[in-house]
């Protein structure tokens, strides 16, 4: 897992649950509190899931809900990380349909160890994008949250359905994202 995700997770945990929640989550996950994640580092996937599981146990919130909230939380920072790759005229669905060819491509080029999820995206109508998400990490809840966060960034409402999911036995997750107009 790319270090930027771990750094963002720390920001999220501290923002949502207080400054003491991060070292507590690390301890419960069996990760040394002295470990400092760096932006360009590559870390075991299990560390992220162990930290999220620890936060889940501590707060009583489902891991899926935490991942989705985390995804929405980090979307603005992810957008700000690659501003030159996102065209000013784009909106939510444009960013989604171009994520693999722009952002993920650059992430893989700049960080040879990085393994962002494989996204196959298709614009099925002017108001809809279908995303096929495939990753051994199975973090589709995080992906849904990022989609929601991107929509919030653009002041748009979206509806997300997931007709197929790896957690329900599918080979990949299918996220159907429909714009529903501006946020109220």
Q: Sign of the C-alpha dihedral, residues 46, 61, 139, 103?
A: negative
pLDDT at residue 124, rounded to an integer: 97
- Give the mean pLDDT of 79-100: 88
Contact predicate 93/129, CB 8 Å: yes
Contact predicate 89/97, CB 8 Å: no
Contact predicate 179/136, CB 8 Å: no
More confident residue, 41 or 183: 183
Output the pTM of the full model. Answer: 0.91
Give 106's pLDDT tier (boundaries 50, 70, 90). low
Report the range of poorest mean pLDDT among 42-46, 47-51, 58-62, 107-111: 107-111
Give 60's pLDDT tier (boundaries 50, 70, 90). very high
Contact predicate 129/96, CB 8 Å: yes
Average pLDDT, the chain: 90
C-alpha 90/C-alpha 164 separation (Å) is 27
Burial class (CB in 10 A: 0-12, 13-18, 19+), 75: buried
Q: 67-182: what CATH class?
A: alpha beta
pLDDT at residue 159, rounded to an integer: 98
Give the tens place of pLDDT for each residue, 142-179: 999 999 999 999 999 999 999 999 999 999 999 999 99
pLDDT at residue 63, rounded to an integer: 97
């Amino acid at each position: 897992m790319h270090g930027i995700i771990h750094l963002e997770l720390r920001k999220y945990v501290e923002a949502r649950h207080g400054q003491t929640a991060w070292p507590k989550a690390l301890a419960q996950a069996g990760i040394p509190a002295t470990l400092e994640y760096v932006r360009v580092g590559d870390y075991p996937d299990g560390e992220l899931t162990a930290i999220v599981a620890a936060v889940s146990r501590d707060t009583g919130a489902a891991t899926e809900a935490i991942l989705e909230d985390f995804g929405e939380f980090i979307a603005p920072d992810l957008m700000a990380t690659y501003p030159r790759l996102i065209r000013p005229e784009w909106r939510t669905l444009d960013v989604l349909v171009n994520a693999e060819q722009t952002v993920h491509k650059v992430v893989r080029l700049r960080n040879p160890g990085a393994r962002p999820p494989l996204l196959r995206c298709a614009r099925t109508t002017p108001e809809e994008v279908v995303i096929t998400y495939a990753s051994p990490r199975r973090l589709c809840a995080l992906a849904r949250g990022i989609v929601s966060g991107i929509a919030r960034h653009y002041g748009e409402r979206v509806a997300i359905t997931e007709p197929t999911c790896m957690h329900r036995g599918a080979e990949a997750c299918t996220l159907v994202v429909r714009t529903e107009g501006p946020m109220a």
